[in-house]
Structure 1
Amino acid sequence: MKEKNVFLRTWSYLRPYKVSLLLAVFLKALTSLMSVLEPFILGLAITELTKNLLAMAQGLPGAQINTPYIFWILLLYFTRALFYEIGSYGSNYFMTKAVQASIKDLRHDLSLKINRMPISYFDRHQFGDMLGRFTNDVETVSNALQQSFLQIINAVLTLILVVGMVLYLNLQLAMIVIISIPATYFSARFILSKSQPYFKKQANVLGDMNGFVQENLTGFNVLKLYGREERSSKEFQKITSELQEVGFKASFISGIMMPVLHAISDMAYLLVAFFGGLQVLSGTLTIGNMQAFVQYIWQVGQPIQTITQLAGVLQSAKSSLERIFQVLDEADEISQVREELSEDLTGQVSFKNVSFQYVEDKSLIREFNLDVEPGQMIAIVGPTGAGKTTLINLLMRFYDVTSGAITVDGHDIRHLSRQAYRSQFGMVLQDAWLYEGSIKDNLRFGNLQATDEEIIEAAKAANVDHFIRTLPGGYQMEMNQESSNISLGQKQLLTIARALLANPKILILDEATSSVDTRLELLIQKAMKRLMEGRTSFVIAHRLSTIQEADKILVLKDGQIIEQGNHQSLLEAQGFYYDLYMSQFSQKEA
């Protein structure tokens, strides 16, 4: 994406609302015209009054104020003011309508884009930085379009109209006004080129700050627990100091423009006042046109000053647009749908010479092979970093294999629609996730077509129905934003019930019972045993007591299967699994 195209690309969002936009521009042009006509109309009145007063002072016969002429000039002035106000209000109304609609479309595109992006993108970017692009950056663009677009249109039209008026009134004085325009423009452009890099860096540092604040607020209890408040404060001060530095440089350099432009305007004003005064004395320029020229000097300076005042807003908007379009330009998940997925999967899964690496030249899984028959329960154990969760990420197509293939019922999963493929899975993660809403809605998330009766049956199967009915409001109880109004173990029970409601072909349980006590763990195991009948299940477990009935236990280490078998055979082998088991249970319990 070329930086110079970001504003041009924004037009694609404004184009659908071009009628409102054109009306806004037309009315703003009317406003500009009425504004430029003001000095000329006043000049007519001043010239006539001056002529009448001089005649009366000289005692010329019949000398008097030309009242009818002055009346019509004042009426013209009032009409001009009326059109000015109508144009000003109308242009703001239609511009607001167009901008807000286009920003809504931009947010919608960002939302759709997020759903098409691979999981790896979110692993590489801070959540707070992503949040900043959706909120701060979009709002910055909205404000810039709302505040700046019409003002820039007004500034450009005012410059054109003023040049036309001064050329009409007096060619010699007009040259002074015209020469001041490029002098002002190139001075402003030079200063802008020096400040733009700092505005861009300011937007990036602001994204870093958002990410830091989000992380620290999320983990605030842990910070308090370990007494890391001072360290966190110092890190925040470091980020804010950098933000202060780049913000100061950006604002200071931009701020130089105003004194420079004022100096150019003042010089033009002095030249017009001197040479215009000489022409008035010589009778080649009327006093009314002289005052019109003086006002036009300020009308030339004001639009350029307006643009420079908006320079900070425009540069911030440009930086924000670059960050937004970086997200929109990210590659989507690769979709190579070549085969249709049968709804009647048996759950036969095969890993064939699978290799995978998150980072190039750092292989995690190498030449991994595994065959799982339909209905089998496969338990996956091993030390941290062995590749257990990575194996599930590959199975779910959160990542694609580097080499080799994973097949389900003979279908290479890379050739299937991700949405259709993932709909065959039920998944309960170690980190329980619920959203703000009622318990019933959270359970229905697993199957949007589920009836109330089916939700209750799933809750009963997960042994969570009784707990729900003891809550205030029962199934209608509202979860708060962080789901902190129930315990972590209770959240896990609800996510298990949600997975049961989905009625999947293949189950994935990533330490699903880690957050419940022993009594509830036994109840959940009973429910899971009934649910797993006839379904292929993958269970990642650290509590080895939960997988003793698994058909096959895979012991992973460094991305390789070092042992496999059932619980009893692995104990008899007295290898790695035996040592792992004995570390959790006493010799007597074993």
Structure 2
Amino acid sequence: MHKESVFLRLWTYLRNYKGSLFLAIFLKVLSSVMNVLEPVILGLIITELTANLLDMAKGVSGAQINTAYIFGILVIYFIRGLFYEVGTYGSNFFMTNAVQRSIRDLRDDLSEKINKIPVSYFDKHQFGDMLGRFTSDVEVVSNALQQSFLQIVNAFLTIVLVIVMVLYLNFSLALIVIACVPLTYFSARFILQKSQPYFKKQADALGDMNGFVQENLTGFNVIKLYGREEVSAEEFREITENLRDVGFKASFISGVMMPVLHAISDMAYLIIAFIGALQVLSGTLTIGNMQAFVQYTWQISQPVQTITQLAGILQSAKSSLERIFEVLDEPNEASEVTETLSHDLTGQVSFRDVSFQYTADKPLIRHFSLDVQPGEMVAIVGPTGAGKTTLINLLMRFYDVTEGAITIDGHDIRHLSRQEYRRQFGMVLQDAWLYEGTVKENLRFGQLQATDDEIVAAAKAANVDHFIRTLPGGYNMEMNQESSNVSLGQKQLLTIARALLANPKILILDEATSSVDTRLELLIQKAMSKLMEGRTSFVIAHRLSTIQEADKILVLNDGQIIEQGNHESLLAAKGFYYDLYMSQFAKTQI
């Protein structure tokens, strides 16, 4: 993606609402014109009043205030103000309408894209980074469009219109007003360049402070336990002192801008007042046009300052757009569907000479082969990094094998639709995931057509029905965002009930009991036994007590099966599995 094309790509979203966009620009042009006309119209009134008063002071016969003329100009001024207010409000209204709808479309595309890109993308990007692209980056673009775009249009229009008006009114004074443009621009730009590094340091220091506060609040009990309160407070003071220093420098240097720009405007005022006064006295300039020049001096310095300040906002928007389009440009998961499932799977699984590597030249699984019959329970054990979770990732097609093939009921899984294929699976993971909603909605997540009776039956089979009924609201109780209003073990039982309700043909249980106490572990094991009845099951476990009834136990190390058999045969072999088992249970057998 070419960086200079991001704003053109953004136009593909805005052009769907170009009616509102162009109407907003037209109304902004209208309000800018009305704004620039104000000094001239006021000048006509001032000139007429001054002339009338001078004639009256000189005693000119019949001299009086030309009320009809002045009233007519006031009516024009009122109409001008009316058009200005309508243009200002209307431009903001229609711009907001176009921008918010375009940003909604952009968010929808991001949401749709996130469901199509491969899992490997999420392994390479931090969660916070991805969240930032969906939230803060999109908001930066939204604010830049909604606020900055019209301001820039207004600024450029004002500069052009003011130059036209002053050239029309008086050429010599116009040169002074025009000279303010580059002088104001380069002065503001110089100050911004000096203050920008300190704003960057201020943002970094603020991030350090937020990170420190979050970390210390999360580990507050540990800090109290080890008596680190004073050390923590001292570290926080150092961070806030740094934030104070860089914040002061950023605010002070950027605060110099307004006095400098006002000084330039004041200097222009003095020059125009002096030269203009001479021209008024000589009769080559009306006093009304002189005051118009004074107003135009301010009108032309303010938009130059606006353009300078908004340049940084547009640069941030450009960076945010690049990050957003990086996600949208990611290739989707490969899809080469050549086979369809005419019936549900029986659960016969084969790994045929499978090799896999996450990164080139770093093979993890090499020439792995395994046959699993329908209804068998296969346990996978081994040290960290042995390839246990990788096997499950390959089986679920979160990744595709580098070499060899995985087949289900004889079908190469790479030739099946991922959605159709994954519908045959159920998973219970170590980190039980529930979303904000009712208990009933969470259980129905895997089978949206399930009836209330089927939900209750699944909950009873998972030994969680009694617990649910004790909750306030029972099955209709709302789970909070973190699911913290139930315990970890209860969440695990709910996920088992959810898997039961989905009625999968193949089950994957990944460390499902590793974070609960022994009593609850027995209850979960009983629920899992019910869940595994008649289904092919793959169980990853560190607690060997949970897999002693497995039909096959695979002992992995460095991506290879180093031992294979049932519990009794592996203990009799006194190999790697025997050592693992004795390390967990030797003390209880003494």
Tell me the residue number matched to 1:471: 471
Q: How far off is 1:27 after superposition?
A: 2.0
Distance 1:559 1:456 in 2: 41
Tell me the residue number matched to 2:556: 556
- Please report the TM-score for the alignment, with normalisation by the length of structure 1: 0.89
- 2:325 is aligned with 1:325: yes
Q: Deviations over 1:186-219 (max 9, x none)?
A: 5555666677787778778878887787777667
Distance 1:458 1:75 in 2: 78
Distance 2:290 2:82 in 1: 26
- 2:483 is aligned with 1:483: yes
- 2:79 is aligned with 1:79: yes
SS at match of 1:352: strand
Judged with a 3 Å threshold, the aligned counterparts in structure 2 of structure 1 residues 337 and 17 are, in CA distance, closer, same or farther, namely: same
Distance 1:219 1:434 in 2: 25
Once the two structures are superposed, the pairs formed by residues 226-375 of structure 1 within 5 Å of their partners are: 257-375=257-375
- 2:151 is aligned with 1:139: no
SS at match of 2:512: coil
Equivalent AA in structure 2 for residue 458 of structure 1:
A
Q: Deviations over 1:322-348 (max 9, x none)?
A: 443343334433333343344422222
Tell me the residue number matched to 2:384: 384
Tell me the residue number matched to 1:409: 409
Judged with a 3 Å threshold, the aligned counterparts in structure 2 of structure 1 residues 470 and 388 are, in CA distance, closer, same or farther, namely: same
| The 10-residue stretch of structure 1 (301-310 or 489-498) with the greater mean CA deviation from structure 2 | 301-310
Q: How far off is 1:448 after superposition?
A: 1.1
Tell me the residue number matched to 1:399: 399
- 2:416 is aligned with 1:438: no
Once the two structures are superposed, the pairs formed by residues 185-224 of structure 1 within 5 Å of their partners are: 185-188=185-188
* TM-align CA RMSD: 3.4
Distance 1:588 1:210 in 2: 47
Structure 1 residue ranges (4+ consecutive) displaced by more than 6 angstroms after TM superposition: 193-253
Q: Deviations over 1:110-167 (max 9, x none)?
A: 3223222333333333333333333333333333333222222221221122122112
Judged with a 3 Å threshold, the aligned counterparts in structure 2 of structure 1 residues 370 and 441 are, in CA distance, closer, same or farther, namely: same
Distance 1:228 1:131 in 2: 33
Q: How far off is 1:558 after superposition?
A: 1.9
Tell me the residue number matched to 1:509: 509
SS at match of 2:352: strand
Distance 2:348 2:292 in 1: 87
Equivalent AA in structure 2 for residue 67 of structure 1:
T
Q: How far off is 1:98 after superposition?
A: 2.4
Distance 1:56 1:5 in 2: 66
Tell me the residue number matched to 2:18: 18
SS at match of 2:407: strand
Q: How far off is 1:426 after superposition?
A: 0.3
Distance 1:329 1:500 in 2: 38
Q: In 2, are the aligned partners of 1:128 and 1:213 still within 8 Å (CA)?
A: no
Tell me the residue number matched to 2:497: 497
Distance 2:399 2:235 in 1: 33
Q: In 2, are the aligned partners of 1:257 and 1:308 still within 8 Å (CA)?
A: no
Q: Deviations over 1:238-262 (max 9, x none)?
A: 8888887887777666556545544
| The 10-residue stretch of structure 1 (264-273 or 555-564) with the greater mean CA deviation from structure 2 | 264-273
- 2:138 is aligned with 1:149: no
Distance 2:112 2:320 in 1: 19
Once the two structures are superposed, the pairs formed by residues 15-94 of structure 1 within 5 Å of their partners are: 15-94=15-94
Q: In 1, are the aligned partners of 2:570 and 2:578 still within 8 Å (CA)?
A: yes
Distance 2:207 2:318 in 1: 15
| The 10-residue stretch of structure 1 (61-70 or 10-19) with the greater mean CA deviation from structure 2 | 10-19
Q: How far off is 1:555 after superposition?
A: 0.5
Distance 1:289 1:129 in 2: 56
Q: In 1, are the aligned partners of 2:377 and 2:550 still within 8 Å (CA)?
A: yes
Q: List gaps (5 residues or longer) in structure 1.
A: none
Judged with a 3 Å threshold, the aligned counterparts in structure 2 of structure 1 residues 147 and 441 are, in CA distance, closer, same or farther, namely: same
Count of equivalent residues:
590
Distance 1:319 1:244 in 2: 28
| The 10-residue stretch of structure 1 (526-535 or 79-88) with the greater mean CA deviation from structure 2 | 526-535
Distance 1:103 1:70 in 2: 49
Q: Deviations over 1:360-413 (max 9, x none)?
A: 443322222222222221110112222211211221122333333322233333
Q: How far off is 1:550 after superposition?
A: 1.5
SS at match of 2:514: coil
Distance 1:485 1:97 in 2: 40
Judged with a 3 Å threshold, the aligned counterparts in structure 2 of structure 1 residues 233 and 501 are, in CA distance, closer, same or farther, namely: farther
Q: In 2, are the aligned partners of 1:113 and 1:328 still within 8 Å (CA)?
A: yes
Q: In 1, are the aligned partners of 2:184 and 2:305 still within 8 Å (CA)?
A: no
Tell me the residue number matched to 1:184: 184
Distance 1:224 1:462 in 2: 40
Distance 1:343 1:221 in 2: 55
Q: Deviations over 1:89-116 (max 9, x none)?
A: 2222222222322232233233223222
Judged with a 3 Å threshold, the aligned counterparts in structure 2 of structure 1 residues 460 and 211 are, in CA distance, closer, same or farther, namely: farther
